[in-house]
Structure 1
Amino acid sequence: MKFTYIVVVFLMLFSTKEIVAQKDTVAQQRVARKMLRQGNELYNKQQFTDASVAYQKALGNNSNYDKATYNLGNAFYQNKNFKEAIPQYELTAKTATNKFTRAEAYHNIGNAMMESKNYQGAVDAFKNSLRNNPKDDETRYNLAVAQKLLEKEKQDNKDDKNKDKDKDKKDQKDKDKDDKNKDKNEDNKDQKDKDKKDENKDGDGDKDKDKKQDPKKDNKKDQQKPKPQQGKMTPQQVKQLLESLNNEEKKTQKKMNAKKAKGKKVKQEKDW
């Protein structure tokens, strides 16, 4: 009897807690629905920040409220908070019970990705939307735009990469040229310094040589060197001169004899 009493009391307590929990859940769901309606009114008035607050309150009372999740994503999107909107749409796409709701969630993910310039993510999202609703022409158009932008982005990145590559080549070429000129200038400078050093060395050597040379020896050497004497003639020149004088003397004598005959005196000049 005692055991039966305990079981009955336990069942009563459990039932009471369950009833209270159900009442709390029902109350929270009412609050969630109320906050959702309030959020929708603010959204229609384009008061997107206040609307997002109302949707968050709705989710605070009912975390599995799919409509509040999806509408919160829209409020973030309208406020240009694209990065915050995407997780809300992703949650909707994951928990959606029908393909059309899932397609709309992916469509909005694609739009948010486009606004964030994540064109690859946008292409993937639009494709997922079309998988759930192939007849959505608006999604198909957005997919074509996203693919075009993605292709342009890849081409621009390729061009920028090639441009950077060409710039790196040019910079390396200029650097090599500068290094080469620098090495050349350094070689020229080293050669000039070497030549100057050798020149100074030679000059110092000559000076040292001059300093080491014995002055007496130089004087002796100068004395031994024959010095030219003014008016001194070689024997050959003397012989020629004597012969010339002898000839002149003969000529003079002949002229004098001629003068005597003619009675006219002529002055004779020497040939040397």
Structure 2
Amino acid sequence: MMRMLQKKYIGIVLLLLVAVSASAQKAERDYIRKGNRFFKDSVYVDAEVNYRKALEVNPKSTVSMFNLGNTLTQQNKLQEAMEQYVGATKIEKDKSNLAQIYHNMGVIFHSQKDYAKAVEAYKESLRNNPKDDETRYNLALAQKQLQDQQQNQDQNQDQDKQDQQKEQDKQQDQQKDQQQNQDQQQQPSQPEKKIMRCLRKMQNSY
């Protein structure tokens, strides 16, 4: 009798858990749908609110993270958006979804002129979806811009070295001038030189 009761209670608990899980999933989907509608209408603040509510229901929802990241990007909250994307990459397993996440990370880095990180993000996106031509184009562009950036940095470094060398030469010239002035001040005047020569001659003549 006790075993039958235990099985009955276990069955009730399982049913309750399933019901709670189903209810949570429905709430999550509803919030995501609302967020999507607001996003489509460019009402990004309300979209953000709904995606965050979806994450409260399911903190591991990569769809909510990705959509929230997109919404934050539209509001120019790039650091917060990046946090959502990075969080999603740690959970998401689907290659197609990962490709989209890394693509958007690349776009943010690209907009910040952090071309090195943009290149890496685009490459990671293409590893997950090699057929994405838009990502491939962005990668080629970021690589070209990174190359130009590095060349400009090298030129600036060379210019800095030249400027430093000129400054050092200028300081050395000034030091030489100062030394010459000191030498001239220490050297006896022409009359004094004559007197010194005379004294020597006089001394030699004795």
TM-score range, shorter chain: 0.7 to 0.9
Partner of 1:165: 161
For 2:93, which of 90, 97, 119 is the aligned residue?
Answer: 97
Closer, same or farther: CA 191–145 of 1 in aligned 2, 3 Å = same
Partner of 1:152: 148
Partner of 1:29: 25
Please show how residues 1-272 of structure 1 align to structure 2 within 5 Å: 12=9, 22-191=18-187, 195=189
User: Could you tell me whether the CA contact under 8 Å between 1:39 and 1:54 is conserved in 2?
Assistant: yes
User: Could you tell me whether the CA contact under 8 Å between 1:93 and 1:103 is conserved in 2?
Assistant: no
Separation (CA, whole Å) in 1 of partners of 2:160 and 2:130: 42
Structure number with greater CO (CA < 8 Å, separation at least 6) is 2
User: Could you tell me whether the CA contact under 8 Å between 1:113 and 1:122 is conserved in 2?
Assistant: yes
Separation (CA, whole Å) in 2 of partners of 1:21 and 1:175: 81
Q: Note the C-alpha offset of 1:19.
A: 5.8
Closer, same or farther: CA 28–189 of 1 in aligned 2, 3 Å = farther
Separation (CA, whole Å) in 2 of partners of 1:46 and 1:81: 15
3-state secondary structure, aligned to 2:93: coil
What TM-score, normalized by structure 1, do the two folds share?
Answer: 0.62
Closer, same or farther: CA 21–178 of 1 in aligned 2, 3 Å = farther
Q: Unmatched 5+ residue regions in structure 2?
A: 197-206
3-state secondary structure, aligned to 2:140: helix
User: Could you tell me whether the CA contact under 8 Å between 1:82 and 1:115 is conserved in 2?
Assistant: no
Letter in 2 for 1:144: A
Q: Unmatched 5+ residue regions in structure 1?
A: 203-272
Alignment root-mean-square deviation, CA: 2.9
What TM-score, normalized by structure 2, do the two folds share?
Answer: 0.80
Separation (CA, whole Å) in 2 of partners of 1:98 and 1:126: 17
Separation (CA, whole Å) in 2 of partners of 1:183 and 1:143: 59
Q: Note the C-alpha offset of 1:20.
A: 5.4
Separation (CA, whole Å) in 2 of partners of 1:48 and 1:185: 73
Question: How many corresponding residue pairs?
Answer: 192
Give percent identity, aligned residues only.
34
Measured against aligned partners, the alpha-carbon deviations of 1:165-191 in whole angstroms (never above 9, x if no partner) come to 111111111111111111211222233
Closer, same or farther: CA 60–184 of 1 in aligned 2, 3 Å = same
Separation (CA, whole Å) in 2 of partners of 1:185 and 1:89: 68
Q: Note the C-alpha offset of 1:114.
A: 0.3
Q: Note the C-alpha offset of 1:58.
A: 1.0
Measured against aligned partners, the alpha-carbon deviations of 1:168-216 in whole angstroms (never above 9, x if no partner) come to 1111111111111112112222336xx59x79xx9xxxxxxxxxxxxxx
